[in-house]
Amino acid sequence: MEKAIVILDKLARNALRSQRKPHFCLPLARENHFKRFCSTSKSDSKEIRKMLSELPLFAGGEIVRGFGRGSKELGIPTANFPLEVVKSLPESLPTGAYYGWANVDNGPVYKMVLSVGWNPFYNNKEKSVETHMLHDFNCDLYGQLLKICIVGYLRPERSFDSLESLIAAIRKDIEQAKGFLDEADKAKLKDAPFFTEKLCSSK
Protein backbone atom coordinates (compact mmCIF):
# COMPACT_ATOMS: atom_id res chain seq x y z
CA MET A 1 0.00 0.00 0.00
CA GLU A 2 1.25 3.48 -0.77
CA LYS A 3 2.52 5.33 2.26
CA ALA A 4 1.11 8.79 2.85
CA ILE A 5 1.27 11.31 5.61
CA VAL A 6 0.50 15.01 5.69
CA ILE A 7 1.19 17.21 8.67
CA LEU A 8 0.38 20.86 9.17
CA ASP A 9 2.74 20.97 12.02
CA LYS A 10 3.48 23.55 14.70
CA LEU A 11 5.04 20.85 16.88
CA ALA A 12 7.96 20.50 14.48
CA ARG A 13 8.53 24.24 14.36
CA ASN A 14 8.43 24.59 18.16
CA ALA A 15 10.77 21.65 18.60
CA LEU A 16 13.15 23.11 16.04
CA ARG A 17 13.30 26.37 17.98
CA SER A 18 14.07 24.53 21.21
CA GLN A 19 16.40 22.05 19.46
CA ARG A 20 14.32 19.16 20.74
CA LYS A 21 13.26 16.34 18.46
CA PRO A 22 9.48 15.84 18.16
CA HIS A 23 8.06 12.34 18.03
CA PHE A 24 6.09 11.42 14.92
CA CYS A 25 4.34 8.09 15.00
CA LEU A 26 1.29 8.69 12.92
CA PRO A 27 -1.13 6.66 10.81
CA LEU A 28 -0.16 6.13 7.20
CA ALA A 29 -2.60 6.14 4.29
CA ARG A 30 -5.31 7.70 6.46
CA GLU A 31 -7.03 11.05 6.54
CA ASN A 32 -7.15 13.81 9.17
CA HIS A 33 -3.41 13.85 9.88
CA PHE A 34 -3.33 17.62 9.93
CA LYS A 35 -5.24 20.66 11.03
CA ARG A 36 -7.73 21.64 8.34
CA PHE A 37 -8.84 25.17 7.59
CA CYS A 38 -12.32 25.55 6.13
CA SER A 39 -12.75 28.01 3.30
CA THR A 40 -15.94 29.04 1.57
CA SER A 41 -14.00 29.95 -1.52
CA LYS A 42 -10.52 29.17 -2.76
CA SER A 43 -10.36 32.71 -4.12
CA ASP A 44 -11.01 34.15 -0.66
CA SER A 45 -7.78 36.10 -0.08
CA LYS A 46 -8.30 36.20 3.69
CA GLU A 47 -8.47 32.41 3.88
CA ILE A 48 -5.49 32.07 1.56
CA ARG A 49 -3.44 34.40 3.73
CA LYS A 50 -4.49 32.43 6.78
CA MET A 51 -3.45 29.15 5.17
CA LEU A 52 -0.09 30.48 4.02
CA SER A 53 0.58 31.92 7.46
CA GLU A 54 0.51 28.36 8.77
CA LEU A 55 3.47 27.24 6.68
CA PRO A 56 5.70 25.28 6.89
CA LEU A 57 3.68 22.29 5.80
CA PHE A 58 5.34 18.88 6.13
CA ALA A 59 4.21 16.03 3.87
CA GLY A 60 5.46 12.64 2.82
CA GLY A 61 4.58 9.74 0.58
CA GLU A 62 5.80 7.14 -1.85
CA ILE A 63 7.11 8.45 -5.17
CA VAL A 64 4.90 7.28 -8.05
CA ARG A 65 5.03 7.59 -11.81
CA GLY A 66 3.69 10.87 -13.15
CA PHE A 67 3.08 12.00 -16.70
CA GLY A 68 6.74 11.70 -17.68
CA ARG A 69 6.81 15.29 -18.92
CA GLY A 70 9.23 16.77 -16.39
CA SER A 71 12.36 15.12 -17.75
CA LYS A 72 11.32 14.55 -21.37
CA GLU A 73 9.63 17.83 -22.30
CA LEU A 74 10.84 20.30 -19.70
CA GLY A 75 14.26 19.02 -18.72
CA ILE A 76 13.12 19.48 -15.12
CA PRO A 77 12.49 16.06 -13.51
CA THR A 78 9.89 15.83 -10.76
CA ALA A 79 8.98 13.37 -8.04
CA ASN A 80 5.25 12.82 -7.83
CA PHE A 81 3.07 12.00 -4.84
CA PRO A 82 0.18 9.53 -5.17
CA LEU A 83 -3.32 10.94 -5.49
CA GLU A 84 -3.94 9.87 -1.90
CA VAL A 85 -1.43 12.43 -0.63
CA VAL A 86 -2.67 15.13 -3.01
CA LYS A 87 -6.25 14.77 -1.79
CA SER A 88 -5.21 14.91 1.84
CA LEU A 89 -3.61 18.35 1.55
CA PRO A 90 -5.58 21.17 3.18
CA GLU A 91 -8.38 22.26 0.87
CA SER A 92 -7.53 25.93 1.44
CA LEU A 93 -3.94 25.50 0.21
CA PRO A 94 -3.78 27.70 -2.93
CA THR A 95 -2.67 26.06 -6.15
CA GLY A 96 0.57 27.33 -7.61
CA ALA A 97 4.33 27.17 -7.22
CA TYR A 98 6.00 26.77 -3.83
CA TYR A 99 9.52 26.31 -2.51
CA GLY A 100 11.05 24.41 0.37
CA TRP A 101 13.15 21.41 1.33
CA ALA A 102 12.95 17.72 0.43
CA ASN A 103 14.70 14.42 0.92
CA VAL A 104 14.35 10.83 -0.28
CA ASP A 105 14.38 7.84 2.09
CA ASN A 106 15.70 9.99 4.98
CA GLY A 107 18.77 10.95 2.95
CA PRO A 108 20.34 14.40 2.47
CA VAL A 109 17.96 17.34 2.39
CA TYR A 110 17.93 19.49 -0.75
CA LYS A 111 16.27 22.70 -1.89
CA MET A 112 13.17 22.15 -3.98
CA VAL A 113 10.39 23.85 -5.91
CA LEU A 114 6.90 22.40 -5.91
CA SER A 115 3.87 22.58 -8.17
CA VAL A 116 0.45 22.10 -6.58
CA GLY A 117 -2.52 22.15 -8.92
CA TRP A 118 -3.97 21.22 -12.28
CA ASN A 119 -1.17 22.31 -14.64
CA PRO A 120 -3.49 24.29 -16.93
CA PHE A 121 -0.91 24.23 -19.75
CA TYR A 122 -1.51 20.46 -19.95
CA ASN A 123 -5.19 20.45 -18.91
CA ASN A 124 -4.69 17.77 -16.28
CA LYS A 125 -7.82 15.92 -15.16
CA GLU A 126 -6.46 15.27 -11.67
CA LYS A 127 -4.79 17.65 -9.25
CA SER A 128 -1.12 16.85 -8.75
CA VAL A 129 1.78 17.64 -6.43
CA GLU A 130 5.11 17.56 -8.26
CA THR A 131 8.45 18.18 -6.54
CA HIS A 132 11.61 19.22 -8.36
CA MET A 133 14.64 18.77 -6.10
CA LEU A 134 17.69 20.87 -6.87
CA HIS A 135 19.93 17.82 -7.03
CA ASP A 136 20.78 15.35 -9.79
CA PHE A 137 20.02 11.87 -8.47
CA ASN A 138 20.95 10.00 -11.67
CA CYS A 139 18.69 7.10 -10.67
CA ASP A 140 15.09 5.91 -10.60
CA LEU A 141 13.31 7.10 -7.42
CA TYR A 142 10.00 5.31 -7.91
CA GLY A 143 8.80 3.54 -4.77
CA GLN A 144 11.07 5.52 -2.44
CA LEU A 145 9.76 7.75 0.34
CA LEU A 146 9.73 11.46 -0.41
CA LYS A 147 9.45 13.96 2.44
CA ILE A 148 8.91 17.63 1.81
CA CYS A 149 8.71 20.81 3.85
CA ILE A 150 6.75 23.51 2.03
CA VAL A 151 8.28 26.76 3.24
CA GLY A 152 6.79 29.48 1.05
CA TYR A 153 4.60 30.46 -1.90
CA LEU A 154 6.04 31.77 -5.17
CA ARG A 155 3.09 32.38 -7.51
CA PRO A 156 -0.38 31.16 -8.51
CA GLU A 157 -0.62 28.56 -11.25
CA ARG A 158 -1.45 29.76 -14.73
CA SER A 159 -1.36 28.62 -18.32
CA PHE A 160 1.34 29.65 -20.78
CA ASP A 161 1.43 30.54 -24.46
CA SER A 162 4.24 28.11 -25.19
CA LEU A 163 6.37 25.35 -23.72
CA GLU A 164 9.30 27.74 -23.73
CA SER A 165 7.36 30.23 -21.57
CA LEU A 166 6.49 27.48 -19.11
CA ILE A 167 10.13 26.39 -18.85
CA ALA A 168 11.24 30.00 -18.37
CA ALA A 169 8.73 30.47 -15.54
CA ILE A 170 9.91 27.31 -13.78
CA ARG A 171 13.54 28.37 -14.14
CA LYS A 172 12.63 31.70 -12.58
CA ASP A 173 10.87 29.86 -9.74
CA ILE A 174 14.02 27.83 -9.14
CA GLU A 175 16.25 30.90 -8.96
CA GLN A 176 13.86 32.65 -6.58
CA ALA A 177 13.65 29.55 -4.40
CA LYS A 178 17.43 29.34 -4.11
CA GLY A 179 17.58 32.88 -2.79
CA PHE A 180 14.66 32.58 -0.38
CA LEU A 181 15.96 29.32 1.09
CA ASP A 182 19.30 30.94 1.88
CA GLU A 183 17.53 33.27 4.33
CA ALA A 184 18.28 32.25 7.92
CA ASP A 185 14.70 31.63 9.05
CA LYS A 186 14.05 29.37 6.07
CA ALA A 187 17.46 27.69 5.95
CA LYS A 188 17.05 26.30 9.47
CA LEU A 189 14.09 24.21 8.32
CA LYS A 190 16.54 22.06 6.37
CA ASP A 191 17.39 20.53 9.76
CA ALA A 192 13.78 19.86 10.77
CA PRO A 193 13.57 16.54 12.68
CA PHE A 194 10.82 15.42 10.26
CA PHE A 195 13.45 14.61 7.65
CA THR A 196 15.14 11.98 9.82
CA GLU A 197 12.23 10.79 11.94
CA LYS A 198 10.93 7.33 11.14
CA LEU A 199 7.33 7.37 10.01
CA CYS A 200 5.45 4.44 11.47
CA SER A 201 1.87 3.29 11.08
CA SER A 202 -0.65 2.86 13.83
CA LYS A 203 -3.99 1.14 13.78
Q: Which domain does 97 fall in, by range?
A: 4-195
Comparing CA positions, the residue from 98, 92, 95 lying closest to residue 154 is 98
pLDDT average, residue stretch 61-83:
78
pLDDT score at 123 = 62
Tell me, yes or no, whether 117 lies in a domain.
Answer: yes
Catalytic residues: 130
pLDDT score at 112 = 98
Cα separation, 61 vs 50, whole angstroms: 25
Higher pLDDT, 128 or 4: 128
pLDDT score at 134 = 96
Tell me, yes or no, whether 202 lies in a domain.
Answer: no
pLDDT score at 33 = 31
Overall domain count for the chain: 1
For residue 56, whether the previous peptide bond is cis, meaning omega lies within 30 degrees of 0, is yes
Tell me, yes or no, whether 203 lies in a domain.
Answer: no
Q: What is the CATH number of the domain that holds 103?
A: 2.40.30.30
* Whole-number Cα distances in Å, 178 to 21, 70, 101, 136: 26, 19, 11, 15
Cα separation, 172 vs 160, whole angstroms: 14
Tell me, yes or no, whether 132 lies in a domain.
Answer: yes
pLDDT score at 31 = 31
